[in-house]
Amino acid sequence: MAKLKVGILISGRGSNMAALIKAATAPDYPAEIACVISNVADAPGLGIARQAGIAAMVISHKDHPDRESFDRALSSALESHGVELVVLAGFMRILSRWFPERWAGRLLNIHPSLLPAFRGRHVERQALSAGVRVSGCTVHLVVPDLDAGPIVAQAAVPVLPNDTEETLSARILRQEHRLYPMVVRWFAEGRIVETSRGVEVKDVPAGATLLFSAEP
Ligand code: GAR
């Protein structure tokens, strides 16, 4: 069967992108990474993608007069690679309304908190300041409002008394790398269905949409 063509948008390190590229090397994985686009010219993730033989390009927001014209350029590049699903993986540029409307139902994001808690930036700092005992990450469909949109799956991790932003972020990131490839697989398998209550994932074991990790 033809594999789903995925386009990944990054702005930096690209470790979630790398996890998706690795997952997609498995012969039975139902998606392939068609292209990677960064809005930042020296994003380290670009090198990782190129090393894996994936078309990787820079489209800088600085070359566009406004958000929508940048978003239209992104969209054209994705279309030219036949992309069917767009995955935001540490893409730190706020999109105009146009982009999520254009890719409605075919645009995923990963965020390092248990949404709807702690939207925006410095997410781990927000969690530590709030004194929560549990945090994690969320994969959701993207809608025009920031860090909103129906939740597909989450992973929960403990917040420990001596955590710093770095230690908490690293613990969450390990779960991001498990969660995102799993959700992209479900998308490719056609299991992710929007309902009046949000998103339902069809024909997966009960509880599959929530991962737990107690590791420190
Ligand atoms: C990840 O922790 C991701 O959840 C976060 O940026 C990091 C990117 O890391 N995204 C956001 O905060 C989006 N609001 P990566 O470049 O190594 O994948």
Distance of CA 23 to the CA centre of its chain: 14
pLDDT tens digits for range 14-36: 999 999 999 999 999 999 999 99
Task: Determine which residue's CA is closest to atom 2 belonging to ligand 1.
Answer: 112
Ligand 1: centre distance to CA 73 (Å):
22
What positions carry a catalytic annotation?
111
For the domain spanning 109-216, the CATH number is 3.40.50.170
Domain boundaries of the chain, sorted by first residue: 1-103, 109-216
Domain 1-103 identical in fold to domain 109-216: yes
153 band by pLDDT with thresholds 50, 70 and 90: very high
Nearest of 22, 20, 26, 19 to residue 6 by alpha carbon? 20
Cis peptide before 116 (omega within 30 of 0): yes
With CA atoms as reference, report the closest residue to 78 among 95, 55, 60, 62: 55
Mean pLDDT, to the nearest integer, of 53-61? 97
> pLDDT-based confidence at 145, cuts 50/70/90?
very high
Nearest CA to ligand 1 atom 5: 90
186 contacts 30 by C-beta, under 8 angstroms: no
Q: 177 in ligand 1 pocket by Cβ < 6 Å?
A: no
149 lines ligand 1 (CB under 6 A): no
pLDDT at 1 over 90: no
Residues 89-114 have pLDDT tens digits of 999 999 999 999 999 999 999 999 99
CA–CA dist 216, 211 (Å, integer): 15
Residue whose CA is at the smallest distance from ligand 1 atom 16: 14
Could you tell me if the CB of 136 is within 6 A of ligand 1? no
* Cα 199 to Cα 135: distance, rounded to the nearest angstrom: 21
CA distance 12 to 97: 23
Per-residue model confidence as pLDDT tens digits over 188-205 = 999 999 999 999 999 999
Q: How is domain 1-103 classified at the CATH fold level?
A: Rossmann fold (3.40.50)
Read off the pTM.
0.98
The average confidence (pLDDT) of the chain is 97
The sign of the dihedral angle between the CA atoms of 48, 52, 54, 55 is positive
Atom 7 (ligand 1) nearest CA: 90
Please check the confidence at residue 118 and state whether its pLDDT lies above 90: yes
Crossing angle of helices 15-23 and 44-51, in 10° steps, is: 20
User: What values do phi and psi take at 5, rounded to 5?
Assistant: -90, 120
Q: Is the pLDDT of residue 83 over 90?
A: yes
Most ligand 1 atoms within 8 A of CB, residue of 21, 91, 108, 111 to mutate: 111
Residue 160, pLDDT above cutoff 90: yes
